[in-house]
Amino acid sequence: MTALHHRESLPPRPEGSNTVDTFLISDRAAELVDFLVAVLEAEEVPEARTLDHDGLLLHSEVRVGDSVLVVADRKPDWPFTPAFVRVHVHDVDAVLERATQHGAEIVTRPTDFFGDVLARFSDPSGNLWWIQRHDPGADTSAWTDDTATDDTATDASADWSDVASPELEYIHSTLTEAVRTLRDPRSRAV
């Protein structure tokens, strides 16, 4: 399928929406919307904000670049469901600075990642954000392994060690630790 044919075959969607839009369920959703506006320079779509009959935020939308994030409040009996979201930005350091000013904790410092720069932070609602500056001119040949066959691709012993580096080890270990230590924000308030 060619790229042009693929674009023409995309399913219909509302103006401004992508084929996939991320949905974040959070305590204090309105505060998360404010956080996204301040940190990611998102724009809230005011007409999308809808309160449920219990006063909780049922639906809101923020635009980050060409993407839509839908944000809603978690009901009292709903489980903690943290989001893991990747956002491409112009300036990783500036985003991290704004994030920490608004209560986020840096999980992964800016690190070279196949020619790009990748960082992560955890927001006050417990979501984990990948912040990445893409370098379209970077050499990404290490991302592919031309020697792999269908047999080796399914081999349980195959892993990413042939492209491992101290940077990738750091990126991997900080993610592993962040996910291992995820806690429901409601349990922190007790």
Query: Residue 23 has what pLDDT?
Result: 94
CA dihedral 128, 94, 18, 144 (to 10 degrees): -70
Query: Residue 60 has what pLDDT?
Result: 97
- Which CATH number is 18-140+160-184 given? 3.10.180.10
Q: Are 63 and 42 in contact (CB under 8 A)?
A: yes
List per-residue pLDDT tens for the chain, 190 residues long.
555 556 668 888 777 778 888 999 999 999 999 999 999 999 999 999 999 999 999 999 999 999 999 999 999 999 999 999 999 999 999 999 999 999 999 999 999 998 899 999 999 999 999 999 998 887 766 555 444 444 444 555 556 666 778 999 999 999 999 999 998 988 876 5
Query: Residue 11 has what pLDDT?
Result: 86
**Alpha-carbon Rg of the chain, whole angstroms?**
19
pTM: 0.82
